[in-house]
Structure formats: structure tokens, C-alpha cells
Amino acid sequence: MHIIIWEFTVREEHIQEFISAYNSNGDWANLFRRAEGFVGTELLRSSRQPNIFLTIDRWESGTCLEIFQERFGAEYKKLDTELEGYTWSEKKVGVFSEA
């Protein structure tokens, strides 16, 4: 399993739109689902800072993610650009595998 974790600080006025776009049935997950090897996306919200979120994206392998990026790179960039105004910051926490 290939797991990517991102942390977002979301603009308060865009929290609901962010949740809609980044949850397991949102715009990102719908794009990822078009690729073979996508397992799922999980959206977590901080209980102490309600505008801090984590996404956990799961792929069968790093190769599946690379193939997705090759095939859907343009769509990925377009969606990223459309949604960038929802956040103050975005940070890749890291890439992980199951222990």
C-alpha cells in the first residue's frame, strides 16, 4: 500500500467547499477513481483547530500513482488550480507504506 498524507490550513470562509471537494466522494476522489490502483481517500479534521485538515490517499502501489500522474496530470493540475483559493497553506506530510 502506498499512502500519501497532506495537511491543509483552510480559509474559514471555504471550509464547507473544501470538505465537499476533498472528502471520500469529492472532486479529488472522483478524479483518482478514474485510475487503476486507487484504493481510497480519507479526510480528517483537527478537533483542536477546526480549519486544519489531513487527507490520506491510498494507492495499491507507487507505480499506480505514477501511471495516474502520467495519464491525468493535466486534469490534476486544473483541479488543483481551481481549488487552491480554499486554503492558506498545503503541505505534503509524507509518503508512507503499511508496517
Counting the structural domains of the chain, the total is: 1
Using one digit for the tens of pLDDT, what is the confidence trace for 29-43? Answer: 999 999 999 999 999
Q: Can you give the residue range of the structural domain that contains 67?
A: 2-97
Using one digit for the tens of pLDDT, what is the confidence trace for 47-89? Answer: 999 999 999 999 999 999 999 999 999 999 999 999 999 999 9
pTM of the model: 0.92
CATH of the domain at 16: 3.30.70.100
**How far from 23 is each of 13, 70, 73, 78, 99, CA to CA, in Å?**
17, 23, 20, 18, 25
Residue 10, strand partner residues: 87
Average pLDDT over residues 17-30: 97
Q: Which three cell numbers stand for residue 95?
A: 509518503
